[in-house]
Amino acid sequence: MEAKEEEEEEEEEEEKEEEEIVVLVMMMMKSKTEKTMKEKKKKQEEEEEEEEEEEAKEEEK
């Protein structure tokens, strides 16, 4: 009887550990996605600034 209870406890612990790993992976992916989005946004803003500067130079001519 005790062996069965111990086995059930071990299974529950394994499930908890697996759930924790899934949560950690999801958090890491979310963080990476947010970082990528920020980088894309920053790059786009830089490109827009360059275009505006080029347009200003064109107008000066």
What range defines the domain where residue 9 resides? 1-61
Looking at residue 22, its amino acid is: V
Query: What pLDDT does 57 receive?
Result: 87
pLDDT band at 59 (very low <50, low <70, confident <90, very high): confident
15-53 pLDDT per residue, tens: 999 999 999 999 999 999 999 999 999 999 999 999 999
CA distance 44 to 41: 5
Residue with tokens 């996605």: 33
**What is the predicted pLDDT for the residue at 58?**
87
Which pLDDT belongs to residue 61? 63
